[in-house]
Structure 1
Amino acid sequence: MSSSKWMRVIPVAFIMYMLAYMDRINVGVLLPYLEKDLNLTAADAGEVAGIFFWGYLLLQIPGGILASRWSAKKFIFILMMIWGIFATACGFVQTEGQLKLVRFFLGVAEGGVWPAVLVLLASWFTSKERARANAFWMACLPVSAIVMAPLSGLLLAYFDWRTVFIIQGLPPFIWGFVWLFVIKDRPSEAKWMDKEERKKLLAELDEEQKRTTKSDGFGAAFKNPIVWGLVVVYFFWMTGFYGYTLWVPSVVQSFKQDPVTTGWLTAIPFTCALIGMFINSIWSDRRMNRIQHVVFPLLIAAICMIVGQFVTSPLAQMVLLSLTAFGLYAPYGPLWTIPTAIVPAAIVGAALGLQNAIGNLGGYYGPSIFGKLKDVTGNYHMGFYFLAASLIIAAIITSILGRHLNEGKASSQTTLKNTRPNVAK
């Protein structure tokens, strides 16, 4: 494995998306201060955090198309400048409505980045490398939380929430130019790459392209029940995932009011999340089992959420919050291998786009409903029960989809057996 492309492409993309994911982490840390200054109820705060995902939906499909037909590098650079503007603008809002509007457009700008990066990675890494490339890049999600939660807490010790939003909105403007000058859309444009290495890589990618099945498009994907099963799984997983991610800093703050301590304590669960991602993905690859490595982590997270409502010790609650994060993030690697295994090849690209576009709306409903339940009950208990129920539903549907995966394997083995030559005399 040549190290040149791994050291040139992955780290720059890693930091770029870390900065994007920061806008989904810092709002969770800042929520208690937003609620106080803007007179927000918990339901309002959940809406502010979650409305991002309605905007995020809009460029999921167009983003992939623009990156493929034009330039992933230039498209992402433009989006970085736009999201930097809206991330900074969060510090200048005066009302709840203004904050919701800014957060919505922040979601629009960041929504096109995910599919564009996947297009970029597909232009640089062969199919046998792509899973690792995606995994290394997606590790930026928990790493961003590990870094940004303490940083937000530290900044809050010296600045108000408005200034924190402004400070954390500036890095995309700087890193955008690093991205523009370092990243190339395809190996043929990379002058730093060894000629023989480039020639070999381009030949492998070209050969893969020739073998690729042409997609039948979204029309066929919309008619496929398995695709909708995957959409529902992702929706309920994201409901629990973002409901937890955006509200856990507020829960941690109830242990300790100091913002610096809150930031450091919030980083602990996300450190466990990073460990969970790597352990579960490696174990899943070794066992070549995807379903169990999605179902069991989701159930572990759900159980820990429920048990956490019956303990009062801050230490016990932190342990359970950390185990919840472990289970919530662990399915990332295995889950994204399932669509390519059970969805017909001709519609798998459209299926992935549909899954990510609609499924991410769970990022709106999780925080929003959690906040409403907190307002009604006055505590976090019902909110966590709701998130746990969402994860259990995702686990059950994943198990049902696993039957199609097993049927596909059995069918392949039968076909292989029937095509073997009969050498018996």
Structure 2
Amino acid sequence: MGQSKWLKIIPIAFIMYMLAYMDRINVGVLLPYMEKDLNISASAAGDIAGIFFVGYLILQIPGGILASKWSARKFVFILMILWGLAAMASGFVQTEGQLKVVRFLLGVAEGGVWPAVLVLLANWFTTGERARANAFWMACLPVSAILMAPLSGILLKQFDWKMVFVIEGVPPLIWAFVWYFLLKDKPSEAGWMDQTEKEELLKDLKAEQAQAVQSEGYGAAFKNKVTWGLVLMYFLWMTGFYGYTLWVPSVVSTFTKDSATMGWLTAIPFTFALIGMIVNSYWSDKRLNRVQHVVVPLLIAAVSMVAGQFVSSPLLQMFLLSVTAIGVYAPYGPLWAIPTAIIPAGVVGAALGLQNAIGNLGGYFGPKFFGVFKDATGSFHAGFYFLALALALAAVVSALLGKGMKKNKQPQIKHKINQAK
């Protein structure tokens, strides 16, 4: 299969979602400054960071359907404009309440992007290519943190936190037009693609769709017990994942008073996270083992989080923060291979939609309760114990779900709309 689609689609989608993920990273870097300027508690700061995920829930399922029925390209274009404006609006707020409203609206706009891009990738990449396409695209998560944490720190030396929000809201507005004019929804619309390559790809996609299992809908997913196990596992993981991601900069800020240095130091754990994602996914594919490559990293993250509360050296703390980052991010690749192995093909698409939609609410509870514990105790310790417990429980649920993989090893072909949800 030709390489033109890999070079044309993946980089544009990568940068697009990297800019989206920036809004979940920069708020963590700016939290200490927001707390001081708005005179808010750590609990309120966690609420501001986490309320994004309440809005994020709204378009998770409708977004995939709309992208499938209408146009993923046009839908994401509109969402990029809306989230860029919402991100910039964060710099004009005057109160805690206003900031919560803007962050909620930002979550609504960004919530439709993930399912829409999955629709786009399903239109362009065969089942055998889709795992790699998703992996290359999802690598934008730690890369965004590596780049944006230092950038936010550098900008804080020149501007206040409000102006940083405004400045970092501009790139999505620009990239929206790059996305709109360079991407197409389907290979048949791509004038840049070699005709032979296009015909071969369309033939392969058509053959897959002819064999695809039709979705049984969300009613069947709601009745499937394993689906709710996946939802619980993802909720617990996202609680630890975003609680860690959004509060790490605040921990690092205790090492230094210089915002630029804080930004560069914050990038270190996420650099190791990227390496961990790549190595763990490769190793999981090589061993054809998914569960161990989810459970073990989560347990490592939980243990290193707890261990970090018993050391005082900034060097040791940074080391343990980096180990935690590896454990928290590494499951991303192998995790998504588990649902298709333990849930019937006609249910799996809807199950993935519920898993992503409801599970992401952990992104609210993690930062929120971390802040609550910080207010109650005056330190980060209790918050990290809470996040470690969430990750450990996620590992336990994953191990229990993994037992179902032995009962269903037959490969399943997902309907392309199911992939999107």
Residue 219 in structure 1 maps to residue 233 in structure 2: no
User: Offset of 1:406 from its aligned partner?
Assistant: 1.4
Q: CA RMSD in A?
A: 0.8
Higher radius of gyration, 1 or 2: 1
For 1:125-145, what per-residue CA distance to the aligned partner results, in whole angstroms no more than 9, with x for missing partners?
000000000000000000000
Matches within 5 A, 1:300-379: 300-379=300-379
> Could you tell me which residue of structure 1 aligns to residue 94 of structure 2?
94
| Contact 2:229–2:401 (CA under 8 A) maintained in structure 1 | yes
Q: How far apart in 2 are the matches of 1:24 and 1:408?
A: 37
In the alignment, the residues of structure 2 paired with residue 51 and residue 205 of structure 1 have an alpha-carbon distance, to the nearest angstrom, of 39
Determine the C-alpha separation between the residues in 2 that align with 1:333 and 1:267: 21
Look up the match of 1:32: 32
Corresponding residue for 1:423? none
In structure 2, give the amino acid aligned to 1:146: I
Q: Deviations over 1:252-299 (max 9, x none)?
A: 000111100000000000000000100000000000000000000000
Report sequence identity in percent: 70
The answer as to 2:106 corresponding to 1:106 is yes
Corresponding residue number in structure 1 for 2:67: 67
Q: Deviations over 1:56-100 (max 9, x none)?
A: 000000000000000000000000000011000000000000000
Q: Which amino acid aligns with 2:163?
A: T
> SS of the counterpart of 1:191?
coil
- 1:271: which partner in 2? 271
Aligned match of 2:244 = 244
Aligned counterparts of 1:35 and 1:147: Cα–Cα separation in 2: 24
Q: Distance in 2 between matches of 1:266 and 1:406?
A: 40
Query: 2:279 matched to 1:282?
Result: no
Query: Equivalent residue for 2:168?
Result: 168
What is the letter of the counterpart of residue 343 of structure 1? I
Alpha-carbon distance in structure 2 between the residues aligned to 1:287 and 1:266: 32
Aligned: 1:48 with 2:51: no
Q: Which amino acid aligns with 2:138?
A: M
Contact 2:301 2:388 in 1 (8 A): yes
* Distance apart, 1:307 and its partner CA: 0.2
Aligned partners of 2:233 and 2:394 also within 8 Å:
yes
Superposition deviation, residue 11 in structure 1: 0.2
Amino acid at match of 1:22: M
What's the CA shift for 1:364?
Answer: 0.0
Q: Distance in 2 between matches of 1:146 and 1:406?
A: 38
Q: CA deviation at 1:2?
A: 1.5
Map 1:393-408; keep pairs closer than 5 Å.
393-408=393-408
Equivalent residue letter for 1:226: V
**Contact 2:342–2:407 (Cα < 8 Å) also in 1:** no
Q: 1-side partners of 2:355 and 2:252: how far apart?
A: 32
Equivalent-residue separation in structure 2 for 1:340 and 1:209 (angstroms): 17
Match of 2:84 in 1: 84
Structure 1 residue runs of 4 or more that deviate by more than 2 Å after TM superposition: none
Between the aligned partners of 2:23 and 2:78, the Cα distance in structure 1 is 17
Cα shift at 1:3: 1.4
State the Cα distance separating 1:357 from its structure 2 match: 0.1
SS at match of 1:254: coil
Q: Quick one: which amino acid aligns to residue 113 of structure 1? A: V
Distance, in Å, in 1 between the alignment partners of 2:214 and 2:2 is 30
Residue 268 of structure 2 contacts residue 322 of structure 2 at CA under 8 Å; is this kept in 1? yes
Secondary structure at the aligned position of 2:29 is classed as helix
Deviation, structure 1 residue 330: 0.2
Aligned equivalents of 1:388 and 1:84: distance in 2? 33
Whole-angstrom CA distance in 1 between matches of 2:162 and 2:394: 37
Q: Secondary structure at the match of 2:158?
A: coil
| Correspondence 1:110-125 to 2 at 5 A | 110-125=110-125
Structure-2-length-normalised TM-score: 0.97
Counterparts of 1:398 and 1:13 in 2: how far apart (Å)? 29
**How many residues are paired up?**
411
Write out per-residue CA displacement over residues 357-412 of structure 1, whole angstroms, 9 at most, x where no aligned residue: 00000000000000000000000000000000000000001100111111223xx6
Gaps of 5+ in 2: 412-421
Residue 256 of structure 1 corresponds to 256
Separation in structure 1 between the aligned mates of residue 233 and residue 10 of structure 2, nearest angstrom: 28
Which residue matches 2:417?
Answer: none
Q: Which runs of 5+ in 1 are unaligned?
A: 414-425
> Could you say which residue in structure 1 is the equivalent of 2:419?
none
AA in 2 matched with 1:349: G
Question: 2:418 maps to which residue?
Answer: none
Please say if residues 32 and 250 of structure 2, whose CA atoms lie closer than 8 Å, have aligned partners that are also in contact. Answer: yes
Residue 57 of structure 2 aligns to a residue in which SS?
Answer: helix
Amino acid at match of 1:142: P
The SS at the match of 1:157 is: helix
CA distance in 1, matches of 2:148, 2:401: 36
Tell me the TM-score normalised to structure 1 length: 0.96
Residue equivalent to 1:380: 380
In structure 2, give the amino acid aligned to 1:93.
V
Paired AA for residue 51 in structure 2:
I
Which letter maps to 1:105? L
Which residue pairs with 1:22 in the alignment? 22
